[in-house]
Amino acid sequence: MNLISMLVLALLAAPQTKTPEKPKVADALNFTMNSLEGKPVNLSKYQGNVVLMVNVASECGYTPQYEGLQALHKKYAARGLRVLGFPSNDFGGQEPGSNAEIQDFCKKNFGVEFDMFSKIKVLGSDKSPLYKTLTATPKFTGDVSWNFEKFLIGRDGQVIGRYKSAVEPLSTELTRAIEAALGK
Protein backbone atom coordinates (compact mmCIF):
# COMPACT_ATOMS: atom_id res chain seq x y z
CA MET A 1 0.00 0.00 0.00
CA ASN A 2 1.41 3.36 -0.92
CA LEU A 3 1.57 6.41 1.30
CA ILE A 4 -1.39 8.20 -0.32
CA SER A 5 -3.65 5.18 0.11
CA MET A 6 -2.65 4.90 3.76
CA LEU A 7 -3.45 8.59 4.35
CA VAL A 8 -6.86 8.28 2.67
CA LEU A 9 -7.70 5.22 4.78
CA ALA A 10 -6.55 7.01 7.92
CA LEU A 11 -8.73 10.02 7.13
CA LEU A 12 -11.73 7.82 6.44
CA ALA A 13 -11.20 5.93 9.69
CA ALA A 14 -10.81 9.11 11.78
CA PRO A 15 -13.81 10.03 13.91
CA GLN A 16 -15.97 12.66 12.26
CA THR A 17 -16.75 15.75 14.32
CA LYS A 18 -20.07 17.41 13.82
CA THR A 19 -20.53 21.12 13.99
CA PRO A 20 -22.56 21.67 17.13
CA GLU A 21 -26.10 22.74 16.37
CA LYS A 22 -27.20 26.07 17.72
CA PRO A 23 -29.86 25.65 20.38
CA LYS A 24 -33.35 26.53 19.22
CA VAL A 25 -34.38 29.99 20.33
CA ALA A 26 -37.38 29.85 22.66
CA ASP A 27 -40.57 31.44 21.32
CA ALA A 28 -40.60 34.26 23.89
CA LEU A 29 -37.07 35.31 22.86
CA ASN A 30 -37.36 34.80 19.11
CA PHE A 31 -37.93 38.48 18.31
CA THR A 32 -35.95 41.53 17.33
CA MET A 33 -37.14 44.66 19.11
CA ASN A 34 -35.86 48.21 18.91
CA SER A 35 -34.09 49.75 21.89
CA LEU A 36 -35.13 53.21 23.08
CA GLU A 37 -32.27 54.49 20.94
CA GLY A 38 -33.87 52.82 17.90
CA LYS A 39 -31.25 50.09 17.53
CA PRO A 40 -32.45 46.55 16.75
CA VAL A 41 -31.90 44.09 19.60
CA ASN A 42 -32.32 40.37 19.01
CA LEU A 43 -33.92 39.06 22.19
CA SER A 44 -32.21 35.70 21.64
CA LYS A 45 -29.16 37.33 23.25
CA TYR A 46 -30.98 36.89 26.58
CA GLN A 47 -31.37 33.12 26.17
CA GLY A 48 -29.75 31.34 29.10
CA ASN A 49 -30.67 34.18 31.46
CA VAL A 50 -33.75 34.67 33.60
CA VAL A 51 -35.75 37.48 32.02
CA LEU A 52 -38.42 39.72 33.52
CA MET A 53 -40.43 41.47 30.78
CA VAL A 54 -42.59 44.38 31.92
CA ASN A 55 -44.88 46.73 30.00
CA VAL A 56 -44.16 50.13 31.53
CA ALA A 57 -45.59 53.67 31.51
CA SER A 58 -44.38 57.02 32.84
CA GLU A 59 -47.69 58.49 34.02
CA CYS A 60 -49.27 55.55 35.84
CA GLY A 61 -50.04 54.93 39.49
CA TYR A 62 -47.64 51.97 39.21
CA THR A 63 -44.80 54.08 37.73
CA PRO A 64 -42.89 54.04 41.07
CA GLN A 65 -42.32 50.33 40.35
CA TYR A 66 -39.42 51.48 38.15
CA GLU A 67 -37.53 51.85 41.43
CA GLY A 68 -38.16 48.21 42.37
CA LEU A 69 -37.34 47.00 38.87
CA GLN A 70 -34.02 48.86 39.03
CA ALA A 71 -33.36 47.34 42.48
CA LEU A 72 -34.00 43.84 41.04
CA HIS A 73 -31.60 44.63 38.19
CA LYS A 74 -28.87 45.76 40.59
CA LYS A 75 -29.35 42.85 42.98
CA TYR A 76 -29.60 39.98 40.49
CA ALA A 77 -27.93 41.03 37.21
CA ALA A 78 -24.65 39.37 38.18
CA ARG A 79 -26.54 36.09 38.71
CA GLY A 80 -28.23 36.29 35.30
CA LEU A 81 -31.45 38.29 35.70
CA ARG A 82 -32.28 40.60 32.82
CA VAL A 83 -35.08 43.14 33.31
CA LEU A 84 -36.59 44.39 30.04
CA GLY A 85 -38.96 47.36 29.93
CA PHE A 86 -41.45 47.77 27.08
CA PRO A 87 -43.22 51.16 27.19
CA SER A 88 -46.84 51.11 26.08
CA ASN A 89 -49.47 53.82 25.75
CA ASP A 90 -52.35 51.33 25.65
CA PHE A 91 -53.79 52.05 29.09
CA GLY A 92 -55.25 55.49 29.64
CA GLY A 93 -52.64 57.21 27.45
CA GLN A 94 -50.18 56.92 30.34
CA GLU A 95 -47.07 56.72 28.13
CA PRO A 96 -47.47 59.66 25.75
CA GLY A 97 -43.77 60.54 25.45
CA SER A 98 -41.31 59.85 22.66
CA ASN A 99 -38.61 57.23 23.13
CA ALA A 100 -36.11 59.99 23.99
CA GLU A 101 -38.51 61.47 26.57
CA ILE A 102 -39.13 58.03 28.08
CA GLN A 103 -35.40 57.38 28.36
CA ASP A 104 -34.77 60.77 29.96
CA PHE A 105 -37.66 60.29 32.42
CA CYS A 106 -36.48 56.82 33.47
CA LYS A 107 -32.86 57.85 33.98
CA LYS A 108 -33.61 61.13 35.75
CA ASN A 109 -36.37 59.88 38.07
CA PHE A 110 -35.41 56.26 38.74
CA GLY A 111 -31.81 55.77 37.58
CA VAL A 112 -32.94 53.01 35.23
CA GLU A 113 -29.99 50.99 33.92
CA PHE A 114 -31.84 47.88 32.73
CA ASP A 115 -32.67 47.46 29.04
CA MET A 116 -35.54 49.56 27.77
CA PHE A 117 -37.17 49.23 24.37
CA SER A 118 -39.16 51.41 22.00
CA LYS A 119 -42.82 51.96 22.69
CA ILE A 120 -45.03 49.06 21.55
CA LYS A 121 -48.66 47.97 21.57
CA VAL A 122 -49.54 45.25 24.07
CA LEU A 123 -53.26 45.18 23.21
CA GLY A 124 -55.50 45.05 20.16
CA SER A 125 -55.14 43.91 16.59
CA ASP A 126 -51.77 45.64 16.20
CA LYS A 127 -50.35 44.07 19.38
CA SER A 128 -46.61 43.45 19.18
CA PRO A 129 -45.80 39.88 18.07
CA LEU A 130 -43.78 39.54 21.29
CA TYR A 131 -46.86 40.23 23.39
CA LYS A 132 -49.02 38.02 21.15
CA THR A 133 -46.64 35.20 22.09
CA LEU A 134 -46.44 36.08 25.80
CA THR A 135 -50.21 36.33 26.20
CA ALA A 136 -50.82 33.07 24.32
CA THR A 137 -48.49 31.03 26.53
CA PRO A 138 -50.31 28.03 28.05
CA LYS A 139 -51.09 28.63 31.74
CA PHE A 140 -50.58 32.38 31.20
CA THR A 141 -53.05 33.24 28.44
CA GLY A 142 -55.09 36.40 28.28
CA ASP A 143 -54.62 40.05 27.49
CA VAL A 144 -52.42 42.27 29.61
CA SER A 145 -54.78 44.09 31.95
CA TRP A 146 -52.74 47.21 32.83
CA ASN A 147 -49.28 48.78 32.94
CA PHE A 148 -46.49 47.03 34.84
CA GLU A 149 -47.72 43.49 34.25
CA LYS A 150 -44.73 41.16 34.48
CA PHE A 151 -43.73 37.98 32.62
CA LEU A 152 -40.96 35.86 34.12
CA ILE A 153 -38.99 33.74 31.67
CA GLY A 154 -36.70 30.94 32.81
CA ARG A 155 -33.19 30.20 31.58
CA ASP A 156 -34.69 27.80 29.03
CA GLY A 157 -36.68 30.66 27.49
CA GLN A 158 -40.06 29.41 28.70
CA VAL A 159 -42.56 31.66 30.46
CA ILE A 160 -42.65 30.45 34.06
CA GLY A 161 -44.67 33.19 35.73
CA ARG A 162 -47.03 36.07 35.14
CA TYR A 163 -47.65 38.78 37.71
CA LYS A 164 -50.35 41.43 37.69
CA SER A 165 -49.52 45.11 38.04
CA ALA A 166 -50.19 45.18 41.79
CA VAL A 167 -47.39 42.67 42.43
CA GLU A 168 -44.47 44.86 43.45
CA PRO A 169 -41.07 44.00 41.94
CA LEU A 170 -39.54 43.49 45.40
CA SER A 171 -42.50 41.48 46.73
CA THR A 172 -41.75 38.14 48.35
CA GLU A 173 -43.83 36.41 45.67
CA LEU A 174 -41.78 37.75 42.78
CA THR A 175 -38.33 37.68 44.40
CA ARG A 176 -38.82 34.04 45.46
CA ALA A 177 -39.77 33.12 41.88
CA ILE A 178 -36.73 34.99 40.50
CA GLU A 179 -34.37 33.35 43.00
CA ALA A 180 -35.79 29.91 42.22
CA ALA A 181 -35.33 30.52 38.49
CA LEU A 182 -31.77 31.78 39.00
CA GLY A 183 -30.86 28.74 41.09
CA LYS A 184 -28.16 28.62 43.71
Q: Which residues are the active-site residues?
A: 60
Rounded to 10°, the helix 172-182/65-76 angle is 30
Contact call for residues 171 and 164 (beta carbons, < 8 A): no
Q: How many residues make up the chain in this entry?
A: 184
User: Which among 95, 98, 117 has a CA at the least distance from the CA of 38?
Assistant: 117
- The two beta strands, 115-116 and 81-87, are parallel
Q: CA-CA distance, 166 to 39, in Å (whole number)?
A: 31
- SS3 of 152, please? strand
Q: CA-CA distance, 43 to 84, in Å (whole number)?
A: 10
